[in-house]
Structure 1
Amino acid sequence: MTFPFRLLAPPDPATLPLPYPARPADGVRLLRGAVYAIPDGSRPLTADVWLPEDAAGPLPVVVFVHGGAWRAGLRDDLGPRFRSWRPGPFARLARAGFAVVCPDYRLSGEAAHPAQRDDLAAVLAWLRARGDELGVDAGRTVLWGESAGGHLAALTALTQPATTISGCVTWYAPTDLPALAEDRPEGTYDARDPRSFEALLLGGAPADRPEAARDASPVAHVGPEAPPFLILHGTDDALIPVRQSVRLAEALRDAGSPVDLRLLTGGGHLWVGLSDEDVEDCHVRTADFARRCTSGATGRA
């Protein structure tokens, strides 16, 4: 007897029931762990959706992409400088009138590039499919990420159709993988090392996979149709050189695309070295940028 493998076909995430809402803060609803994609041979991918309690009309969307060197990380973690915030950073954005979507994606131990970019494209498609049900306007979406998440946010923003993304925010993100050997201090990075985080993302050492390294670099996808960018990076970042953000800003300017590059004096990775006031300002700048980019009825500002 032949087993009917069609019975194993996964359900369509666009039709699955949404999670029952929690209320983690006054005025905020949280749909935790909504399934947005089920890649073949992989675990289901989920997202948290933060919504204001009483929203009038479809909401603009901020999709936050977590960091963790493409190897680790939690979808709802913005880093150690924000873990003590009450209410937290995503609840604050929801109170300000945004829907905030925090997706999982396949880590480098599960799949190599471009799986991560594909996952973020899938969450955007899921938002378009369920926009009416969620009360969001997927045509007004800003991508935002920190560190490796900033890299993935930028890569997705620059490879999606031109009208899909209203803006993109990166915090201390790598943007040009082939140039890392030049940008990092001599002796601190080996492009032939198959154990580096970049190699694990690419499925091989960057020096041995130059085409993949280029394809995984946001700077390689910049064009005149790029959405507006806000780029924040600390000048004292010892993990991701500030030159990486400068490279992306220069490419955007050369293409005639709007970009706001802010270099924070004394700031390290994860905003180590910044005052609490400066860290809060990074969050405020991000919210203000997202508001400007999504102020129209649909599409870009």
Structure 2
Amino acid sequence: MTPETVMPDEAIARRLPTPPPFPAFQTPGTPEEVSEHSRVHRELNYAIAVGFRRLSMDIWLPRNPDGGPVPVVVWIHGGAFQLGDRRELPPTFQPDSVFRLLNEAGIACATVDYRHALEAPFPAQLHDIKAAVRYLRHHAELLGIDPECIGAWGESAGGHLAALLGLTGGRADLEGGLGAPGHSSAVSAVVDFYGVSSLTRMPPMEATTSFMSGALLAAVPDGVSLEPGPMLVGNSHDPALLDAASPLAYVTADAPPFLLIHGDSDGLVPLTQSELLADALAVAGVEQELVTIEGGDHCFFFAEDQLDRILATAVSFFTKELTQP
């Protein structure tokens, strides 16, 4: 067809540029200077998905005199898969302490949000965390981080997810399709604070509802279990579904080194949960250490005088695993 015979509508269509596709994640901009140790990228959307809220992370970068790439640790908050926020640390921790301590050690920290249990059932939460790791690798050069030196650190539900992340780096069936594609979600070291390792071996958690007001529970649909495990897997007590959402099911000899820290008086997640995972890792030949905190309840309540040592132990573990040759 010659130019003279092109129909008007066709000619207009040829002249109009094609609009760019809607982005699946956001590119980092300029970090905010917050202290002598830290610069922070706030509210970065690491995954944008149709039908869901945008998933965000904050990236705390250490001031780095030599200018080379630094390791990064993904911090995963707790909250029984029902509550919590990437900016919130446990009530026993000083605000921003985890992020600040990592930065002081020369390690970046990406603190991430993920979907809660009533927003989407498992494995959505694992898909989200994996997307966060892929995002960090995708933008590693821009952020000044080392894509080969990524760790995961979580507490309670976040410890559960950190363990799953560490144990499923090679599982394509659990990768999900959110955010930046084409990168590995594997991590090189895991710190798990009082996380669940086997949902089928958890005792009833009535205590989780003791602090919940009617306003907190108002949006929970009738008939939905308030037990974190069943709620996580779509309001089901099916052992197969619960096992499939449990770190214990994914232990292999390929797992990265693990540090587990758990109070011996934990009234929500028994110490036996970390013992189960430590034992399974040891049987598989994986480097692991379980540190028991005497008198420590969940969130290390009643062991606050040991908290500085606990956090220093975790940061030292990452320094050893992520920065030393």
TM-score normalised per structure 1:
0.87
Pick from 71, 77, 82: which aligns with 2:82?
71
Taking the TM superposition and a 5 Å limit, the aligned residue runs for 1:7-22 are 10-13=22-25, 16-22=26-32
**The one of 250, 257, 260 aligned to 1:221:** 250
Structure 2 gaps, min length 5: 1-17, 172-183, 209-222
Runs of 5+ consecutive residues of structure 1 not aligned to the other structure: 1-5
Aligned-partner Cα distance in 1 for 2:81–2:19: 33
Preserved contact between residue 65 and residue 143 of structure 1 (Cα < 8 Å): yes
**Aligned residues, how many?**
280
**Superposed CA offset, 1:157-189 (max 9, x none):** 1011298311100001111001113xx69x989
1:17 is displaced (CA, Å) by 3.6
Q: Is this contact kept in 2: 1:63–1:144, CA < 8 A?
A: yes
Deviation at 1:195, TM superposition (A): 2.9
Task: Tell me the percent identity.
Answer: 35
Pick which of 125-134 and 47-56 moved more: 47-56
Cα distance in structure 2, aligned partners of 1:24 and 1:244: 38
The alignment partner of 1:81 has SS state of coil
Q: Is the 2:78–2:154 contact (alpha carbons within 8 Å) kept by the matching residues of 1?
A: yes
Secondary structure at the aligned position of 1:25 is classed as coil
User: Does 1:285 find its partner at 2:313?
Assistant: yes
Quote the residue 2:279 is aligned against. 250
Partner residue, 1:180: 202
CA offset at residue 80 of structure 1?
Answer: 1.1
Are 1:19 and 1:32, in contact at CA under 8 Å, matched by a contact in 2?
no
* 2:106 corresponding residue in structure 1: 97
Q: CA deviation at 1:296?
A: 4.8
Contact kept? 1:124, 1:138, Cα under 8 Å: no
Report deviation, 1:8.
9.9
Q: AA paired with 2:60?
A: W
2:136 is aligned with 1:158: no
Match of 1:267 among 276, 286, 296: 296
Give the aligned residue type for 1:295.
T
Contact 1:177 1:214 in 2 (8 A): yes
- Equivalent of 2:52, from 42, 67, 85? 42
Larger radius of gyration: 2
Asked whether 1:235 is paired with 2:264, we answer yes
Q: Confirm or deny that 1:205 pairs with 2:236.
A: yes
TM-score, normalisation: structure 2:
0.81
Asked whether the equivalents of residues 237 and 269 of structure 1 are also in contact (C-alpha less than 8 Å), the reply is yes
Read off the aligned partner of 2:189 and give its amino acid letter.
G
Instruction: Find the partner of 1:169 among 182, 187, 191.
Output: 191
How much is the aligned-residue C-alpha RMSD, in angstroms?
2.3
